[in-house]
A and B are shown apart, each in its own frame.
Chain A
């Protein structure tokens, strides 16, 4: 039986964690960590090869004039652009993540989803970000979803599988917990909040619930599964709060790119701006940072 969640106290807890004051050395360490754990993402219908190459350059060296700043963890793209990203990132250590399984809705047949995944892997994807079928979940077809995740995982083999729950469509924290437990049991390597394509994306309380599910699963099975928060994370303050949530719920053992990711597109610019501010004491204008 899955654990139940009380919304009022959960939100109070998430609110308290968001009030941690992260200053000076902690802020700089946090910013570097957030960059190191970032899936720099572009998932738009207008994405092109040029756009992806440009993003990859930024992923490898986010700020050439700030040598302490690490590369991001991965670049996240649609399957058709995996090959381009793979070429652009060769030798950099930055991974290529591909969304798959009829992203973002997941409303296709299993055959199509598996074919989608297979194509992404064949193009060189190191990581697959799959979506669950929320319609099926809300109708109570939990076993069907578990089977689907297991099937995709079987296809992935060593390729890292992130399972997107799309928490903004699940309606309740109880459902977030249930979907997390389901994905964990079905073999996910990472559970991920959102596609970034619906009104509500990652939130602090949702991240707390998912961390709790991951912690309980690790306690039960010994297997460490990662968390990815995605969508809606645009500011350094938000990113640092997610680090605080992971640190205080799962522990620092989860604060590395294998077990924690932030999926974002514009966040990197704010992180760099805040980092430079900590270094120099002054805010540089946004034009001092490349806008890719």
Chain B
């Protein structure tokens, strides 16, 4: 049947300036890598190469750390806090002014729908700089009485590919506000917005070396982690790498915060506002193609409404629009990389093999690019891999429970503990469940709400340390 009201293509037309080749941003200047090597960054929606990016070797990382150390001693730690604030505000304003361009860049390099980079990633990144700029000259109010705020020194910050600019903002903004200098290592597949941030920082005229950006892969990150002159490592990424970092830092003076994986329980009670719970579930797992560490990837639904929920969710899946992420009406964009697509495909196959039932949106996938349809599994048991391992894709596992305590037991029965969600129209039940969930953030009758003033971080193997809010300051202050 032909459609009487089909949405016409609505591509975002802003063209961001992308250089053919990017050097490293060290000591306030763009420099060629001593490694002499470059790598391609591609648009996962089309598989086209967007730019060539410098590969930072351990020697390059050393140069960046030395620049950061010099900037720390010479300028940043000595600067009046109110002046530091001015620089951070300047970054915030520049992000706001260039928001459209940054959003397009984020979407091209990472594959996320433009509506998300436009309405979430970029504005929230700017909000973090605004928020922490405000703290720079008020740090004593964050301290216990009698303690002076004191920066740590040089912070090595390693960010993932799922929210490249936003994760950089989460890390850079509080570090700068507290008086630290930074070496930032963006993810290999999504370096472009971090490099755009470096341009903004250059134009904002920050003293050279206060923020340095080194692009590369895991080895680049490892060189940063193991560098002797780094005082603090902040890492967001996989639990596996996080554990390796923690092991390698054991016995050193370096401070560490880790924000790692998750397998969040999303609990729907029979008395939930069902239509909105469905929207919450959809947002919880399909936002950013499920490339979200706090994704609500394990749906625990009360048995009495399981069938109804599955019918509704199946219908709702069909209205999700999968396609080129640059189209303003796209709900499900591209998977970030070939490697991630392979990982999702492998885990989904394991779900089928272990006896779970797969339901997917029916749609044609684009010929080129990495795509995976919005999916969920029913008949999932706690022992299945898809109920325990982080898929990091648009794939939901649905399990059932009978009583609130059973919901809690299943929800907490995971090595992770980053986030959780609860849906019930009964306030007291919401409070009870939230209180007993072992997760860093619990969303009640909503999901994926973020604000710079609210701390974010994990329990158990989802990591430690908090980003955002007053708590986010402590990770960058000596105590």
A interface footprint on B306-330 (CB within 8 Å = 1, 0 otherwise): 0000000000000100000000110
Contact in complex: B5, A12 (CB < 8 Å) = no
Q: Which of B6, B272, B328 contacts A21 (CB 8 A)?
A: B328
* Residue A19 is within 8 A (CB to CB) of chain B in the complex: yes
- Roughly how many angstroms separate A27 CA and B277 CA in the complex, as a whole number? 31
* Residue B238 is within 8 A (CB to CB) of chain A in the complex: no
Query: A22 contacts which chain B residues (CB < 8 A)?
Result: 7-8, 10
Contact in complex: B7, A13 (CB < 8 Å) = no
- Roughly how many angstroms separate A103 CA and B47 CA in the complex, as a whole number? 61
Contact in complex: B7, A6 (CB < 8 Å) = no
Of the candidate stretches A163-171, A183-191, A247-255, the one touching chain B is A247-255
- Roughly how many angstroms separate A8 CA and B273 CA in the complex, as a whole number? 11
* Residue B383 is within 8 A (CB to CB) of chain A in the complex: no
- Roughly how many angstroms separate A26 CA and B275 CA in the complex, as a whole number? 27
Q: How far is the CB of B119 from chain A (nearest CB, A)?
A: 8
Interface of B is mostly: loop
Contact in complex: A247, B276 (CB < 8 Å) = no
Size class of the A contact interface (CB-based, 8 Å): 20 to 34
| Nearest opposing residue in chain B for A247, CB measure | B5
- Roughly how many angstroms separate A255 CA and B2 CA in the complex, as a whole number? 13
Query: A48 contacts which chain B residues (CB < 8 A)?
Result: none
Given known contacts A4-B425, A19-B115, A243 and B5 CB-to-CB distance under 8 angstroms: yes
Given known contacts A9-B280, A19-B115, A26 and B273 CB-to-CB distance under 8 angstroms: no
Query: A109 contacts which chain B residues (CB < 8 A)?
Result: none
Contact in complex: A29, B5 (CB < 8 Å) = yes
- Roughly how many angstroms separate A170 CA and B85 CA in the complex, as a whole number? 48
Contact in complex: B445, A20 (CB < 8 Å) = no
- Roughly how many angstroms separate A212 CA and B275 CA in the complex, as a whole number? 8
- Roughly how many angstroms separate A12 CA and B10 CA in the complex, as a whole number? 22
Contact in complex: A9, B10 (CB < 8 Å) = no
| Nearest opposing residue in chain B for A256, CB measure | B4
Contact in complex: A12, B279 (CB < 8 Å) = yes
Contact in complex: B7, A21 (CB < 8 Å) = yes
Task: List CB contacts (< 8 Å) of B270-295 with chain A.
Answer: 271-277, 279-280
* Residue B3 is within 8 A (CB to CB) of chain A in the complex: yes
Task: List CB contacts (< 8 Å) of A10-32 with chain B.
Answer: 10, 12-13, 19-27, 29-30
Closest 8 CB pairs between A and B? A9-B276, A21-B10, A21-B328, A6-B273, A26-B8, A6-B276, A24-B8, A4-B273
Mark B residues whose CB is within 8 Å of A.
3-10, 115, 119, 271-277, 279-280, 319, 328-329, 425, 445-446
Can you report 26 residue pairs joining A to B where beta carbons are below 8 Å apart? Answer: A3-B274, A4-B271, A4-B273, A5-B273, A6-B276, A6-B277, A9-B276, A9-B279, A9-B445, A12-B446, A13-B279, A19-B119, A21-B10, A21-B329, A23-B8, A23-B10, A24-B8, A25-B8, A26-B6, A26-B7, A27-B8, A29-B5, A33-B5, A248-B319, A252-B4, A252-B5
Mark A residues whose CB is within 8 Å of B.
3-6, 8-10, 12-13, 19-27, 29-30, 33, 209, 212, 243, 247-248, 252, 255
